[in-house]
Amino acid sequence: MDAKSNLDASCVVHQALNVLASKWLLLILLALTQRPKRNSELQRQIRGVSPKMLAQSLRQLEANGLVHRQVFAQVPPRVEYSLTPFGESIAPLLAELCDWSVTWEAQVQTFQPAAGQQLGCD
């Protein structure tokens, strides 16, 4: 991408950011880089996300081809989420974001989340 590129809806970077433009989506992807997880595991790990928002975000990630949803035929039914190869391709970028966050921790901690919002990183 050069300096003269338009950052409008036709730009591939603009389109990619639209797919990832939610902190919940990025946190879910980050959690799934560790290993496949069930909904309840994601809910415990990503503090502050409502069950409804988690479900919507997982559906969006699945629809965009970043996450695979596997249903196991057992009683009670078990559903597990994992990254697709496309989703795994984002892992190095998320690792860089984590490294940046740690390097600049003092400055990052001064960021002000919206009122009542809890980010829940451990």
Nearest alpha-carbon partner for 119 in 93, 99, 101, 95: 101
Are β-strands 37-38 and 78-83 bridged in parallel, bridged antiparallel, or unpaired? Answer: antiparallel
- Domain membership of residue 79 (yes or no) is yes
pLDDT of residue 74: 87
Q: Is residue 113 part of a domain?
A: no
- The whole-number pLDDT of residue 8 equals 78
Q: What is the pLDDT of residue 21?
A: 77
Question: Which residues does residue 112 pair with via DSSP β-bridges, in sequence order?
Answer: none
Q: What is the pLDDT of residue 3?
A: 52
pTM of the model: 0.80
Residue 31: which of 78, 71, 83, 68 has the closest Cα? 83
CA distances from 33 to 15, 56, 75, 84, 93 (A): 22, 19, 27, 10, 11
Q: What pLDDT is stored for residue 121 in this prediction?
A: 52
Residue 84: what pLDDT? Answer: 97
C-alpha span between 43 and 27 (Å, rounded): 11
The answer to the question of residue 112 being in a domain is no
Please report the pLDDT score of residue 10 as a whole number: 79
Q: Is residue 114 part of a domain?
A: no
In a domain, 119, yes or no: no
CA dist., res. 82 & res. 91, Å (int): 12
CATH (domain of 35): 1.10.10.10
- Is residue 52 one of the residues assigned to a domain? yes
Q: What is the pLDDT along the chain (122 residues), one digit of tens a residue?
A: 555 567 777 788 878 887 777 889 999 999 999 999 999 999 999 999 999 999 999 999 999 999 999 999 888 889 999 999 999 999 999 999 889 888 988 888 887 665 444 444 54
Owning domain of residue 86: 12-93
pLDDT at res. 118: 46
Residues 6+ positions from 62 with CB-CB distance below 8 Å: 68, 69, 81
Is residue 36 one of the residues assigned to a domain? yes
Question: Count of domains in the chain?
Answer: 1
